[in-house]
Chain A
Amino acid sequence: MNCFFTVVGLCLCIFVFCALYRAIFGPGVFNRVAAISAIGTKTLVLLLIFGLLYERVDMFIDISMVYALLNFIGCVAAAKYLESQGGIE
C-alpha cells in the first residue's frame, strides 16, 4: 500500500510542475491566479498522502484544512482587487 501512495504522490508532483508552467508563462495576471489556485488544490491532497506515508494522519489534517481555507480566501481577494484595477499584460 505504501508503494501505491508513493506513486500517486509522485504523479501529483508532476502535475504541480505542469501547472507551474502556466503560472510562469501565462499571458496576463488572470491565468496566473487560476494556476495558483490549481496548485493549492493539488498541494492539499499531497499533504494528506504525506501524512499517510509517515503514519501520522492526525497532524496533517488540520494543516490541510487551513490551507484549503486560505486558498479560497486568497482567490476571492485577488479577484476583487483585479476587478477594479484591470489586468496588466
Chain B
Amino acid sequence: MSELATPGPPKRRRGPEHLLTHRLARWVDSRLGTAKLARTALNKVFPDHWSFMLGELGLYCFIVLVLTGVYLTFFFSPSLNTVIYQGSYGPLRGVEMSEAYRSALELSFDVRAGLVMRQIHHWAALLFLASLGVHLARVFFTGAFRRPRELNWIIGCTLLILAMLNGLFGYSLLDDQLSGTGLRIVYSITLSVPLVGTWLASLLFGGEFPGPDIISRLYVIHILLVPAVITILLTAHLAILVRQKHTHFPGPGRRDDNVVGERMWPTYAAKALGLFFLTSALLAFLGGVFQINPIWIYGPFDPAEVSAASQPDWYMGWLDGALRIMPGWEIRAFGFEIPNPFFPGVLLAGLTFTLLYAWPFLEARVTRDHAEHHLLDRPRQRPVRTALGMATIAFYTVLFLGGAADVLGATFGLSVNAILWTFRFLCLLAPPVVGVVTYKLCKEMSARDGVPTASRVTVREIPRRLRHGEERDEAERESPALRS
C-alpha cells in the first residue's frame, strides 16, 4: 500500500506488482481493505460430500433461469390484444390469437436463438425444482434442519414455494391452450377459498375468468417480483450458511464443534465453477435437443376447448393428482358451500407447507432435543424420522401418479376410473406400508453397522459448554455412540 501511496524512483524489475490485476487489487484494497476479508473467505472450509452439491445445482439453475429469462423478455409481449398470426409457422397462419401467444411463437420461430433460449429456460425451471426437491430431502433425512439451522429451513421452504409458483406463472404466460387450461384451474382454486374466494379471484384476474389483466400481471410477478424475492432469500440462505458454517457427516476428527473439509480456495471454488459450467452445459443440451412445451402444437387458448391429457409441469403434478383423486365431495350448509377444489387445492397444499415449515420445531419438541447439531445423521440412525419422510414421499408420489391417470390409462389400455380408484386407496395405504418397511430397514441396517439408533441412545450434544465457550471435555465429547 505504502509503495503506491508514496511514489519512489521507478523500478527496473518487472515483478508481479506491476501487473495490472495486481495494481487494481491494491487500488481496491487501499480503499476497502479487501485483502483481509478475502483471505477469510478463501480459507472458508467446505465439507466434501456429493449430496452437498444438490442445493448448489439449484443455485446454478437459477442463474441460468435469470440469464435466459432476461433474453426472453426482450421479445415477449404480455398482451391479450387480439391479432392475426402472419409469422413463419404455416399451420397457424391466419389464426386469431393473443399478442402474447403470437410473440411466443415469433420468439420460437422467427427470433434467431429464441427457441433454444426458451427451451433452456423451461428445462432449467424443471431442473431447478428437481434440485430444490432433492436438496430438501437431503436436508430432511440427514437432520440438517436442526438447531441452529431452522431459519435456513424456513427460507428454503419459502424458496421452494416461490419456485413452484413462478414456474407455474411462467408457463401460464404464453396463452396457449395448455397454459389457459392451467390458469382456469388456478382461477377455480382461488375461487374455492371460503369467504374471500370470489373477491380474491376477481382481484387477481381483474374480473371473471379469463380476465383481461391476468397475463400482464403474471408477467410482472414472474419476471420481477418473484425473482427479486428469490434473489434476496437466496442471498440470506447463503449468508446464514456462511455464518453458521456447513454441517458435516460423522467421521474421524469430525465433531460438533468443528467443521472439516476443503478450503474454499482454490480447489472447492474451481470445482464449484466447473459444476456451474457442467450444469449449464446439461441444460443447453436438453434445451437444444429435447423439445419442451411445444406451444405451436397446443394452439392459441380458447376457453371453450381443452386438449386431452392436459398435464402441468412435473412439480405441480402432485396438486393436479390431488384434484383428480379427491372424491366428489362438497360441504353445503346454510346456503353456503365449500367447493371441492378447496380440499386438495387449498387445504392439502396449506397443510403440506405448514407441516414442512413446522417440522424442525415439531421434531425438537417430540424428541426434546433442543441442542445445537452440526454433525449430520445418517438416515438409518433416525428410523422414525426416515420412515415418516419416506411415507410422505410415498403419499406425494401417489398423488403425482394420479395426475397422470389418463396418460397411464391410455398407455396401458386400462380404465381411467379403475386407475383413479386404485390411487385413492393407494394414497391411504402406501404411506403406512412404506413407512413401516423403511423403519424396519433402518433398524436392520443400523444393527448390521453395529451403530445404535437414536431410539436406544439419548443424544445429548455438547450444548452448554460449547455455547458458553468453556473448555471442552475431551472424554465426554467422544462418548456419544453416534460418533463411532
- Whether chains A and B associate is no
Q: Which residues of B contact A (CB under 8 A)?
A: none
